[in-house]
Amino acid sequence: MLKKLIILFTVLGGLAAGGLVTLLLVLFVARAWWSTPFEVGPFGGSPEQPIEYPHTIHAGSGVLLLSDGSPKLDGDGNELHGLGLDCTFCHRNVDKGESAGVPPVEQCIYCHKVINSDEDLPEVALLIKAWENKSPVVWERIHRLPDHVRFVHEAHIRYFTEPGNTMPSGEQAIVAANVCAVCHGDVGNMEEVKQVRSLKMGDCVDCHRDNGAPTDCTTCHY
């Protein structure tokens, strides 16, 4: 009798465990399908990059913080702020063509051959090493659309920065960064960039409808 009970509970336990795993898998896939994946392992979150590039320093304008949350200070004890660069400073093609473009090492060195070039900053040292070795920095892509989808950055930047055309928030875009934040989030305040919006077809279609843009299939699929 005891042996039969042990077998019964073992089978029931196995079924329960299998059901739980199946449920978790379904929830994970559903979340990824309708929104963004849960941040588990290589899914969701921020991928590891070959060089840590803090957008807070370059694109942000707020007070820079240390790992313990305290503000970074200069030699005179003043708080350090981000540079507040617009997206177009590094992503030169974002307001000119389909792809936003990733800056080549040469463009980074344009600044860093002077800025921080003589300081003991490991990430800048990696950049300089890539420049000296004439090798590219192979960044890990964060935002990706299916191959059959065509998204022209220039058209969206141009439309929302034209006077009279407001963004989904109801505000007028002044610079490209204001428009970029609609889909990419507040990148200037991200230590590590990650996808924050689903970028699904329904999301795009709703935005087109709200702004009187065409919703014909050939608009994005051609």
Query: In this predicted model, what pLDDT tens digit does every residue of 61-82 receive, in sequence order?
Result: 999 988 888 999 988 899 999 9
Q: Which long-range contacts (CB under 8 A, 24 or more apart) does 26-29 make?
A: none
Q: What tens digit of pLDDT does each residue of 146-192 get?
A: 889 999 999 999 999 999 899 888 888 999 999 999 999 999 999 89
Lowest mean pLDDT among 118-122, 200-204, 208-212: 118-122
**H-type alpha helices, 35-114:** 55-58, 87-90, 105-112
Which ranges of the chain does DSSP label H, i.e. alpha helix? 2-34, 55-58, 87-90, 105-112, 122-132, 153-161, 176-184, 201-210
Q: In whole angstroms, what is the distance from residue 97 CA to residue 149 CA?
A: 15
Residues 9, 12, 18, 19: is their CA dihedral positive or negative? negative
pLDDT beyond 70 at 25: no
Output the pTM of the full model: 0.76
The model's confidence at residue 129, banded by pLDDT at 50, 70 and 90, is very high
